[in-house]
Amino acid sequence: MAKSRITPEKYSGTTQVEHFGKLLNELSKLGTVISTSFGPLGRLKFLQTSQGGHVTVTSSSKRILNQLPSGHPVMHIIISAVREHLARFDDGGLFLIQLTINLITSASRLSIPNHSIIACYEFILKCCIDFFQSDTCPCRINVDISSIKTMLAFMKSILCTKPTCTLNDSEISHLSLLLIKGFVSAIPSPTSQEQFSLQECIQFIHCYGESASESKLLDGILIDNSFTLRNDRDSYTNKFQFLRLPDNTIRVILFNISLAGDPEDSLPENITLIATKDDRSLKLSSIAMERFRRLIEILKANHVGFVGCQKCVHPTFKLALETNGIFVCDRLSILNIGKVKKITGATVLSTSFTEIKDHHFGAISDANYIHINNKCFLNLIPSKYNGRNISTIAIISKDETSCDEIKLVLAAAINSLQQIVTNAVALCGSGCTELTLVRYLQQNRESLFNSAKSQVQLTKSKFFTILDSFQLSLIKIVSSLNQNEKEILTEVQHGHHWIKLSRSISDRCRCGMKNRNEIKSPTFYSPKFDEAIPVKSEVDIVSTSYYRSNENIVLDSFAMKINAYHVAISVANIALRIINTVSDAQT
């Protein structure tokens, strides 16, 4: 009897040391890419795969993460968590990645067991959330959402964060105003039955042009209709006599099938065509035309004024419809049919044989062709009766790269507007919140240890070591905001983020909320070394674009920041719980 032999598979796992070595190596590379992209002074990244192809120029976390490979399993966890955060808030990705990386990296350098660090991080997270949610939190700001100045400042603080947008101050102001107008117009009426997200209510299109100051906010949606063969489209809709309902709205019907008279579209499913080779085309044509004639009668009887079709409409059928006051927009494509469905409220029909019922129809108030910088669009304006307040921002930019980046920051700004209207609270931006938190943790370390000792079971010195490493993780992020070019300071009484200039200290903190001259006996110190720095009387000349006036305060969305802290500490703790990984990938 032959002996069977079992060959043990080679163990492809890693030891704990190898696991952390590989992880820290990948975290270090990602950390460098992310920290050098952070803030308005962040450097651009040119991303291209080793096989070549499209080059992405960006400093946005969303686009960087889409391009970067992630080899280590823990990196997958980090990147997935950041993507989830970005899907919800569209902002704060770079901060979140940096905090996660800094926490994991600093924990790996401590001679303290991981389970103790995890317990301590969880305690610190609770302290941070309590600090932010406390009414006495100095970096928590109640935002007056009725003040246009405050809301504009809030928008500007988001739009100025990405250098790839290449926006100057007047362009930022113009886009901020468009965003607020679009946001206000997107607020649903109290009678509206359907609820849309703001992302659905404010759409973006791109046109090439000289300056973002030419960008426009338009009511309704814009459909790129440059493929339409009609030469007189400019004047066509202006003189087109739409068949209208008594309330002056235009009734809409939508199809996602071809109405070009193709054999498979002309016959109901239960009819099988038997035709000879010679007479087939003739009979099909007459069947199709008969079907079209009946459809026109049905549409006329129901006062339909607009037919939208995802595919082609036969020119003869189109002419017959338009002669009867029914405007036809065909070749909408899969990209646009959903938008048209949303704005009109119509049901998209997959057959022209079904009985058309009242709930299949939608409505618009008007349709026009418009030109924006030599590009032609069909503008569908929603009916005021169906509560679909959808508007479009036509972004004018010189190139595709800046447009892609502008779209991302506009989406982040809209998301932040939604958050702030739900809860009119924000946190100071530009690192002021982080350094105020560091000051709080430094000044309350004894009381924090007394609260923590029953939960974390650490000696005082070990607790302080972990607390200090957490603070250093935050300070490192604030330093990267200045691209490590200027020394950062904080103030004993109020915290915030101040810059040490060559002969003095900045007049205002980075978020713009605190004025140095308004603080009684200010004492600044470097948060890294807890060293008090005497205030000098000389004042440097400071460029207005870098240190903003009081109206240009920099704020962060409260919900976004809280979530970023939560996700960063939770993901860091998950990473610290993993002691090795096993992969089936061949090495």
Draw the binding track, 6-45, toward Zn ion (x: CB under 5 A; -: no contact): ----------------------------------------
Three-state DSSP string of 71-133: CCHHHHHHHHHHHHHHHHHCCCHHHHHHHHHHHHHHHHHCCCCHHHHHHHHHHHHHHHHHHHH
Question: In terms of CB distance, is 329 or 511 closer to Zn ion?
Answer: 511
Question: In terms of CB distance, is 414 or 513 closer to Zn ion?
Answer: 513
Structural tokens at position 270? 């239960």
Question: In terms of CB distance, is 203 or 506 closer to Zn ion?
Answer: 506
The answer to whether residue 260 forms part of the interface with Zn ion (CB under 5 A) is: no
Q: How far is the CB of 430 from Zn ion (least distance, A)?
A: 7
Helix (H, G, I), strand (E, B) or coil at 58: strand
**Which residues in 242-255 are b (16+ Cβ under 10 Å) and which e?**
bbbbeeebbbbbbb
Structural tokens at position 348? 């998209």
Would strands 250-255 and 487-491 be described as parallel, antiparallel, or unpaired? unpaired
Q: Which residues pair with 224 in a beta bridge?
A: 377
Measured CA to CA, the distance from residue 160 to residue 166 in angstroms comes to: 9
Question: In terms of CB distance, is 348 or 499 closer to Zn ion?
Answer: 499
From the list 348, 372, 373, 374, the residue with the least C-alpha distance to 360 is 348
Structural tokens at position 62? 């969303």
Q: How far is the CB of 498 from Zn ion (least distance, A)?
A: 8
Q: How far is the CB of 473 from Zn ion (least distance, A)?
A: 20
From the list 113, 131, 148, the residue with the least C-alpha distance to 561 is 131
Q: How far is the CB of 429 from Zn ion (least distance, A)?
A: 8
Question: In terms of CB distance, is 396 or 554 closer to Zn ion?
Answer: 554
CB 497 within 8 A of CB 427: no
Question: In terms of CB distance, is 82 or 428 closer to Zn ion?
Answer: 428
Question: In terms of CB distance, is 501 or 509 closer to Zn ion?
Answer: 509
DSSP secondary structure letters along 274-288: ---TTTHHHHHHHHH
Q: How far is the CB of 106 from Zn ion (least distance, A)?
A: 25
Structural tokens at position 195? 């609820």
What is the footprint of Zn ion within residues 400-459 (CB under 5 A)?
428, 432
Binding part of the chain for Zn ion, among 75-83, 282-290, 341-349, 510-518 by CB under 5 A, reads: 510-518
Would strands 391-397 and 202-208 be described as parallel, antiparallel, or unpaired? parallel
Measured CA to CA, the distance from residue 552 to residue 324 in angstroms comes to: 56
Q: How far is the CB of 22 from Zn ion (least distance, A)?
A: 39
Question: In terms of CB distance, is 339 or 548 closer to Zn ion?
Answer: 548
Binding part of the chain for Zn ion, among 152-160, 235-243, 355-363, 503-511 by CB under 5 A, reads: 503-511
Binding part of the chain for Zn ion, among 8-16, 284-292, 512-520, 558-566 by CB under 5 A, reads: 512-520
Q: How far is the CB of 437 from Zn ion (least distance, A)?
A: 12
DSSP secondary structure letters along 325-389: T-EEE---HHHHHHHHHHHH-PPEES-SSSPP-GGG-EEEEEEEEEEETTEEEEEEEEPTTTT--
Q: Which of 75, 159, 513, 571 binds Zn ion (CB under 5 A)?
A: 513
Question: In terms of CB distance, is 138 or 305 closer to Zn ion?
Answer: 138
Question: In terms of CB distance, is 402 or 436 closer to Zn ion?
Answer: 436
How many other CB atoms sit within 10 Å of the CB of residue 2? 4
Helix (H, G, I), strand (E, B) or coil at 566: helix
The answer to whether residue 511 forms part of the interface with Zn ion (CB under 5 A) is: yes
From the list 361, 259, 352, 350, the residue with the least C-alpha distance to 305 is 361
State in Å, rounded, how far the first CA of the chain is from the last one: 37
CB 571 within 8 A of CB 134: no
* φ, ψ of residue 487 in degrees (nearest 5): -75, 135
Draw the binding track, 463-502, toward Zn ion (x: CB under 5 A; -: no contact): ---------------------------------x------
Question: In terms of CB distance, is 428 or 437 closer to Zn ion?
Answer: 428
Q: How far is the CB of 530 from Zn ion (least distance, A)?
A: 20
What is the footprint of Zn ion within residues 185-224 (CB under 5 A)?
none
Q: How far is the CB of 436 from Zn ion (least distance, A)?
A: 8
Q: How far is the CB of 556 from Zn ion (least distance, A)?
A: 11
Question: In terms of CB distance, is 295 or 435 closer to Zn ion?
Answer: 435
The answer to whether residue 509 forms part of the interface with Zn ion (CB under 5 A) is: yes
What order of strands is seen across the sheet that includes strand 391-397?
Answer: 202-208, 391-397, 216-219
Structural tokens at position 507? 């007049």
Q: How far is the CB of 499 from Zn ion (least distance, A)?
A: 11
The residue count for binding Zn ion (CB under 5 A) is 6
Question: In terms of CB distance, is 139 or 406 closer to Zn ion?
Answer: 139
Q: How far is the CB of 387 from Zn ion (least distance, A)?
A: 41
Q: How far is the CB of 548 from Zn ion (least distance, A)?
A: 11
Q: How far is the CB of 431 from Zn ion (least distance, A)?
A: 8
How many other CB atoms sit within 10 Å of the CB of residue 269? 8
Question: In terms of CB distance, is 428 or 576 closer to Zn ion?
Answer: 428
Binding site for Zn ion (CB under 5 A): 428, 432, 496, 509, 511, 513
